[in-house]
A and B are shown apart, each in its own frame.
Chain A
């Protein structure tokens, strides 16, 4: 394969690429990885992958960054496959056979051929490349479902009860094939354009760095799973902060009174004892389609932090506002359907389905004004896009006047605030607005802003 010197160089650039994606790797781990390479040899690529993952990574969330990067730096093969693809129908035929038999080695080989045969575009050396999208579009593996199903049934491979599972299983196999094609296309592109650049751009980030507004269904599901550990971490931090804060300052009056017995010399400082006040929290969440992933996630996080507050009330709005605290409490079991339930059971829209901050905030100030008091911290979650209606700044001013603090978390990039129908700058003048695009940012902000 390569000389050992080449491997060391490749290993360090692999580490570099992982670091660029936020995986923290120290020099010690790199040395371990090199020892692992030495111990394992280069003959078996999958062993090497596991070995490097074991030495370089510290958590399972990093694996989805690691795998594609590894594929780039230690590719399965180099260049084009030796054998040229015969044709689309032939490839589909063989793919159907591989899917029927669940033959993963064959599927890997077919993915290579598919990209080579159908994924190439462009003709001049500067502009051409390889596209997994194009290859899959020509090949349409998803349309093989019925055929594979019939094949398996014909072979008697599935009968009776387990037959009900068959279609889902085949769908999962097809999904795996699509991932193989994507990895292969990345590799081919990387060969042409240089690994480092592709590693930087084409690898999906870890769940906590995914933009809320662009997260897919699977990524949102993963984010939801991340809520529990995240909440626990935040809760520990909050409790520690509260403990430290409660040690308090010196109570001068009582110290001096105590000093009378020692002739006015304050021998024993008396600390001011604070009444343990648990803060109250009010959440106003925009749950309209464009930002629903974000508020959904934040609601879950706050719900998981529930015992840190004496009272949490959650309100959801699109253009009308309604309290959903109860729904959220019952929703612990089923975060997946939370949004659907909120939509079904709360009155959030009137006349039209697009969000209207002015109307919703106005209604909140009017109907639920008493939810906000001097101990309440209010979080507003939303992109502040009012669809060109009146932003109703007086309502926000009123809420801000009643509450202890008001924070607005905006899942949009700061540079886009104020463009189009965004009323973000106007709101930002009244209340503190923070950009909050990823779970990482969210947890940092929550830890910083939550009252203790």
Chain B
């Protein structure tokens, strides 16, 4: 899919995703070695966005499995369309049992869920398994078969193997430790907060109207907030939100009043707001 690491960064940049060297290298390797990519990092640094950008670059269909507590085989893999099966049985009254039985377990009655969808078919696909850490441990076992051999076994139909391997991205906020077995099958990428320079470019790209000098101050303040010990430090998504807010307010420089009024965009806990304003010498925030 890609010819070199630089090629990865260049083509991802075209879709509006600025990749750090670490991200570009790992994406390149995941493509070259044909291994799934496990992306970890704090919320809002662009883990999911990465999968979307790769899909766009590759001209591939994005198949997404959103994990949550209680997601199971029938949500992740496949399900039989019971309603349609019943309909089929009641429609054909005078056929023999054997005919009916073989019929209702055919492709026509199969509801493919994301994992099976990603494996079947010849078109290029990017499989995004989002927030893998939210799923129960059993689902990880399910993923192991899919991720190591790119095949799924449906008892009634047999084993379905991928003719064309999808590019797989798993994301995790590390709220639960993923199993060693799953980690072994993946390349590991940690996306942290970007360097100052990089973040400035991201802000300029996502909020085009923002003045260069203001973008610089925005990124510096966010950097300073991240260095503080807060409950929830602002991530890139919040930086962009904040930049948009400032643009909408028509602020052209950062000063105390603007900071006081907009700190809530960056920080999501009252204790954090208080701590940050103390560190930044803001007056007590009556407005919030």
The B contact surface, by secondary structure, is: helix
Q: Which of A35-43, A135-143, A296-304, A315-323 contacts B (4 or more CB under 8 A)?
A: A35-43
Q: A35-B33, A51-B25, A229-B175 are in contact. Are A59 and B184 (CB under 8 A)?
A: no
* Chain B residue at minimum C-beta to C-beta distance from A232: B176
Q: Is A126 an interface residue when CB atoms closer than 8 A count as contact?
A: no
Chain B 33-65 near chain A by CB (<8 Å), digits 1 or 0: 101000011000000000000000000000000
Are the C-beta atoms of A161 and B255 separated by less than 8 Å?
Answer: yes
Counted as pairs of residues, one from A and one from B, with CB atoms less than 8 Å apart, the total is: 104
CA distance A404 to B254 in the complex (A): 61
**Segment with Cβ contacts to B, from A26-34, A70-78, A345-353:** A26-34
Q: Is the CB of B259 within 8 A of A161?
A: yes
Interface residues on A, range: 35 or more
The 0/1 profile, CB within 8 Å of B marked 1, for residues 280-321 of chain A is: 000000000000000000000000000000000000000000
Residues of A within 8 A of B217 (CB): 160-162
Min CB–CB distance B185 → chain A (angstroms): 9
Instruction: Tell me, yes or no, whether A336 is within 8 Å of chain B by CB.
Output: yes
- Closest residue to A333 on the B side, CB-wise? B271
- Chain B interface size band reads 35 or more
Confirm or deny: B174 has a beta carbon within 8 angstroms of a beta carbon on chain A: yes
- Which of chain B's residues have a CB closer than 8 A to the CB of A57? 188
A35 / chain B contacts, CB cutoff of 8 Å: 32-33
Determine if A46 is an interface residue (Cβ-Cβ < 8 Å).
Answer: yes
Q: Which residues of A contact B227 (CB under 8 A)?
A: 168, 172
B29 touches which of A54, A172, A333, A336 (Cβ 8 Å): A54
Q: Is A392 an interface residue (CB 8 A)?
A: no
B183 touches A59 (CB 8 A): yes
Kindly state whether residue B268 has any CB partner on chain A within 8 Å. no
Q: Are A165 and B224 in contact (CB under 8 A)?
A: yes
Residues of A at the B interface (CB closer than 8 Å) are 24, 26, 28-29, 32, 35-36, 39-40, 44, 46-47, 50-51, 53-55, 57-60, 63, 102, 160-162, 164-165, 168-169, 172, 221, 229, 232-233, 333-334, 336
Lowest 8 CB-CB distances: which A-B pairs, in order?
A: A58-B183, A50-B25, A60-B190, A165-B224, A50-B22, A161-B254, A54-B26, A162-B217
* Given A58-B180, A169-B223, A232-B176, 15 new contacts (CB under 8 A): A32-B35, A36-B33, A40-B25, A46-B21, A50-B25, A54-B29, A54-B188, A55-B187, A58-B184, A60-B40, A60-B192, A162-B216, A232-B177, A333-B271, A336-B229
30 contacts between A and B (CB under 8 A): A26-B184, A28-B184, A32-B187, A35-B32, A36-B33, A39-B28, A40-B5, A40-B29, A50-B26, A53-B22, A54-B22, A54-B26, A54-B29, A54-B188, A55-B29, A60-B40, A63-B190, A160-B255, A161-B217, A161-B221, A161-B259, A162-B254, A164-B281, A168-B227, A169-B223, A172-B227, A221-B229, A229-B174, A232-B175, A333-B269
